[in-house]
Structure 1
Amino acid sequence: MVRISSGELRGTTGESGLHVFRGVPYARADRFAPPEPVEPWAGVRDATRHGPISPQPPVRPESVMGVPEEHEQSEDCLNLTVVTPGTDDRKRPVLVWLHGGAYVTGASSFACYDGQRLAAEGDVVVVGVNYRLGALGYLKLDGVSPGNLGLLDQLAALRWVRDNIAHFGGDPEQVTVFGQSAGAHSIACLLAAPAADGLFRRAVLQSAPMALKPLTPAGAARIGRYFTAALGTDPRTASVAEILQAQQRVIVRAAGPGGLYSVPPFRPAAAADPLPPAASMVRRAREVDVIIGTTSAEMNTFLNGKPGITQLEALPFVGRRGVAAAKAGITRWMFDAPSRRLADALAAAGGRVFTYRFAWHAPASTYGACHCIELPFLLGDRESWAAAPMLAGTEWDEMAQLGRKLRSAWLEFAKTGAPLPEWQRHSPGAAPGMRWVEIGPDLRARRTPVAGVG
């Protein structure tokens, strides 16, 4: 039992002794409206079950990560999960998880994102946040939606952590926000948002697609026109099913012929609260310690096995080598190069920055060290990752040593601002190319030169 600002909660205590509170509301919001504080409740609120997740289509990378369990979907989805070793006054470091999913799918309450291993091994509090997605979270349309509602939800969750986490044994002055893919991209946006100042002390950006810039006002207006045409009715009164159908039509239209430009059209927009017109992610470089990194074969998650790709691989003048080179080039363009540029800029501005590349891959998987490959080493458990194709040919116990190593690095960073001793601070302009800690199949982290990424 825990009493927070809005009322009393009843969670669960597992065999490990960890206390888990699920479906905890951190804000409320009407459709296309910014989040507001939760109304206090009377009596004891049940926090033993997960709350609803944002309405969404089927999860896109299920062919890589495995199919997640079913969750109730609802626009009333602003809830979070807290895992803590004790509801006492220990003031433990806090890790806040922002899930990925291209800004249209995902939920931090999925079992594969469970934070109990981190909480138990590090004596830390882990918080997983659900926020609005797709058109409901990122449509910017004059007179309808201001845009960036998903980012505003994340800010509301971080303010909730600041105000309430001490009741769960956490230290509001020691908050690390960590995320992967769109979650990491969100963190980059939060670094540029003045409204996030003071809400977190450290940040971990895993596989952030940093080539994906916030929508310009003109770009956001164009997506708004696409959505209006696809929906054909008032977005404020349309059903959720109609919203999702129109959202998918916009995604297809924005991707262009053959889906070649398949970047998320529903994403953060510049010059819309909380992002200023000219967002600077380095303005708080001296105040927020950062880890930023990628996997060595990010694009395999999105391109392997796709019909057009297999056809290209069969062409004699392209072949597997040509396709592999193209995938490597896109990985460098979308993930590696802009991530290293951000690390360079943060370090040059006086920030404490650490960079990595995750290179481990399962022996029987065709996906290699793909987008999402590091997640089983940090979050979830054996059961939640058992059906993941990207882990084919690997026993869970075989992953234990590298998992402990990676979790130790994240936990030490959350506590001290520096990962393991071999993780030296990032230095901009190191030659040849960039240098970072490579986490590879030999289960060791080592400094690795990489030419041509800059």
Structure 2
Amino acid sequence: MDTVVAAGGGKIRGFVTGDGLAEFRGIPFARASRFAPPEPVEPWTGVRDATRHGPVSPQPPVRPDGVMGVPRDVPGQDEDCLNLTVLTPAADDRRRPVLVWLHGGAYVTGANSFGFYGGHRLVTEGDVVFVAPNYRLGALGYLRLPGVAPGNLGLLDQLAALRWVRDNAAAFGGDPDDVTVVGQSAGAHSIACLMALPEARGLFHRAVLQSAPLGLKLAGARAAARTARLFTAALGRDPRTAPVEEILRAQEETIVKAAGPGGLYSVPPFSPAADAAPLPGVTQWLSQRARFAPEVDVLIGTTAAEMNSFLTGKPGIVQLERFPGTAHAVAAVKAGITRWMFGGPSRAFADQLAARGGRVYSYVFDWGAPDSPYGAGHCVDLPFLLGDEVSWRDAPMLAGAEWASLTELGRELRSAWLSFARTGAPSPGWPRHAPKRAPHHLP
């Protein structure tokens, strides 16, 4: 059954799902030329079809051997990718909490249409509105090359999506004054960037940061320039006019070279850059990201063994593990990098927010599947919140786990996230974050 609402630039037609939710796909929230900031969408006449996913940002294929497996629902790619999906119990005059999902993917992959990221369980169980935007990725979203690409365009896309939510949430039964932005990995890192910006003030009222690689900080001038040199050398022509296929090829070559021998240096070369609009310098960002702490409740945490998902099975690590007696040392290295890139910086950010008067909750997620070599690695928390059994059926990180065994914990985790979105507190027994207090452990 179809359902029609007026939002954005005109009327749009969505559909009612099998579980009775109203879903609208491929809604344009902005438009942008290559290496240009997003601009408002031109209004349209008639009723625009919103029953199919919109195009996603150009990106390399998802690796079939990745920890999450291969996603379902992968539409075509196009630079005209600034669209979003809205999932709601009903497009009525209710004022429900709104959850805006910013996907991860190291700033080079990901899409709102991936089956991994479906918000159906959250919407059904929590009576909330779920919004998932696409934003520009890789070189098209984060290349900083003076005179060509300003950098941080993907971040500007996210701001444009949040403004769209503010202006249109009510048409979908949502409350624009009760918006929680939820991000994982690069999406969580994006939220930490947005929290420093005056332009983002009032666009969201709560924030969930899952596995934010805050040790990454922002790309400084030297790092951004090195990435630009590697990219332009690989491309060999003007990025403004190069076919998108060549952009992706040069992007992949840049990522491989930046990762170094064995691919062990996994810091994304295409990522938010300091001193490029709208972001300040690194030092200013580190202080200003807590500037609005009293106005934004925060839930922040990591998995217990984040780096397992990046380093387990890597050629360099496999070679090390072949030597007798090295397993313990390798495990210690993984744990140390997890603390350096994820755990330590996340707790420091939580401390900073709490010191500025913010209401903050922190956690560590330490569940691992029985037959998975990744344990409580990066992304292992996602199946408990998003997607469904079909989406996660072939995920290597869930090896040996029965979906039924995930159901109870998943319900508890979704209940905590939904409670946080409604009240600013995840559950009655979850203590507020305080310096030197251990994060709440899940499960």
TM-score calculated relative to the size of structure 2: 0.96
For 1:168-317, list aligned pairs within 5 A. 168-277=172-281, 278-279=284-285, 280-317=288-325
Other-structure match for 1:35: 38
Other-structure match for 1:92: 96
CA distance in structure 2 between the partners assigned to 1:96 and 1:14 by the alignment: 20
Shift of residue 192, structure 1, vs aligned partner: 0.9
SS in structure 2 opposite 1:63? Answer: coil
Q: Is the 8 A contact 1:27 1:78 kept in 2?
A: yes
- In the alignment, does 2:420 pair up with 1:413? yes
Q: Which residue of the other structure, out of 349, 369, 392, is the alignment partner of 2:376?
A: 369
Over 3 Å counting, the alpha-carbon distance change for 1:189 and 1:68 in structure 2 is same
* Aligned partner letter, 1:387: D
* Aligned partner letter, 1:108: N
- In the alignment, does 2:328 pair up with 1:325? no
CA distance in structure 2 between the partners assigned to 1:5 and 1:25 by the alignment: 8
Q: Is the 8 A contact 2:63 2:70 kept in 1?
A: no
Shift of residue 195, structure 1, vs aligned partner: 1.0
CA distance in structure 2 between the partners assigned to 1:293 and 1:138 by the alignment: 25
**Identical columns (%):** 69
* Aligned partner letter, 1:71: P
Over 3 Å counting, the alpha-carbon distance change for 1:353 and 1:61 in structure 2 is farther
Other-structure match for 1:5: 8
SS in structure 1 opposite 2:91? Answer: coil
CA distance in structure 1 between the partners assigned to 2:358 and 2:63 by the alignment: 35
Q: Which residue of the other structure, out of 133, 137, 147, is the alignment partner of 1:143?
A: 147
Q: Is the 8 A contact 1:54 1:74 kept in 2?
A: yes
Q: Which residue of the other structure, out of 143, 152, 156, is the alignment partner of 1:152?
A: 156
CA distance in structure 1 between the partners assigned to 2:118 and 2:188 by the alignment: 17
Q: Is the 8 A contact 1:176 1:200 kept in 2?
A: yes
CA distance in structure 2 between the partners assigned to 1:140 and 1:150 by the alignment: 12
Q: Is the 8 A contact 1:59 1:101 kept in 2?
A: no
CA distance in structure 1 between the partners assigned to 2:236 and 2:66 by the alignment: 33
SS in structure 2 opposite 1:128? Answer: strand
* Aligned partner letter, 1:66: G
CA distance in structure 2 between the partners assigned to 1:315 and 1:52 by the alignment: 47
SS in structure 1 opposite 2:87? Answer: strand
Other-structure match for 1:14: 17
CA distance in structure 2 between the partners assigned to 1:39 and 1:137 by the alignment: 22
CA distance in structure 2 between the partners assigned to 1:309 and 1:225 by the alignment: 29
SS in structure 2 opposite 1:211? Answer: helix
Q: How many aligned residue pairs are there? A: 435
CA distance in structure 1 between the partners assigned to 2:323 and 2:198 by the alignment: 51
SS in structure 1 opposite 2:30? Answer: coil
Other-structure match for 1:23: 26
Q: Which residue of the other structure, out of 423, 433, 440, is the alignment partner of 2:430?
A: 423
Q: Which runs of 5+ in 1 are unaligned?
A: 441-454
Of 69-78 and 222-231, deviating more is: 222-231
CA distance in structure 2 between the partners assigned to 1:194 and 1:213 by the alignment: 19
Q: Is the 8 A contact 1:63 1:389 kept in 2?
A: yes
RMSD between aligned alpha carbons?
Answer: 1.2
- In the alignment, does 2:83 pair up with 1:79? yes
Q: Which runs of 5+ in 2 are unaligned?
A: none
CA distance in structure 1 between the partners assigned to 2:80 and 2:264 by the alignment: 34
